[in-house]
Structure 1
Amino acid sequence: MPLIACPACGHQISIEAVACPQCGHPNRPAPPSPAPQTGPKCCLCPAPATTRCQGCNMFCCPRHVQSIYVQHNQGGANELRCPSCYESAMNWKIFGFVFAAIVAVIMLALITGIASR
């Protein structure tokens, strides 16, 4: 096994030695410290994101997502939405209810108009 001189005391040590047995000087460089985990950050705060908004795919933390039932083609599902997408989905829900109410009033007016003739 090859020997090298210790940089601190000059004593001959093995290249496999972790430290010099004479003075304790480390023979190997310290392993690099692991880099901090850098994952996605929330779109609204510096907290780590744990989910994506299902409307716009922005990363969000649990504090900034809200669940809302969203109608799809043949049904619907609860989705996690960021505040802006949640507000948009709520506006569409309100629009749908208002539209249905207007259609119901028109239908009722037509039915009562036909019945009174």
Structure 2
Amino acid sequence: MTAVTDADFEERVLNADGPVLVDFWAEWCPPCHMIAPVLEEIAAERADSLTVVKMNSDENPLTPREYQVMSLPTLMLFRGGRPVRVVVGARPKSRLLADLVDAPDQ
């Protein structure tokens, strides 16, 4: 799982060919650390169909502000340069997949 910044967010997320799951996190956030291994598993298992990236919200405040990220962790799925699903807080892997990755876009 790679890190994105305010500077490369547009290129690596908004202009990506396929879906991108962004993990907005911070070093001081215990639930962020709890969910990190789960996101690593999802990234490895879905590498052919999903890109998973992380953004440190403290080091990159512009993008979280633009997407109104108020709590951490916030997971946001982007397709075609638009956020299509959002989950706030840590969840078990099966719930994350159901709520974010495998759910139909609205």
* TM-score normalised by length of structure 2: 0.18
Structure ranking higher on relative contact order (CA contacts 8 Å, 6+ apart): 2
Q: Which has the larger radius of gyration?
A: 1
* TM-score normalised by length of structure 1: 0.17
More strand by share: 2
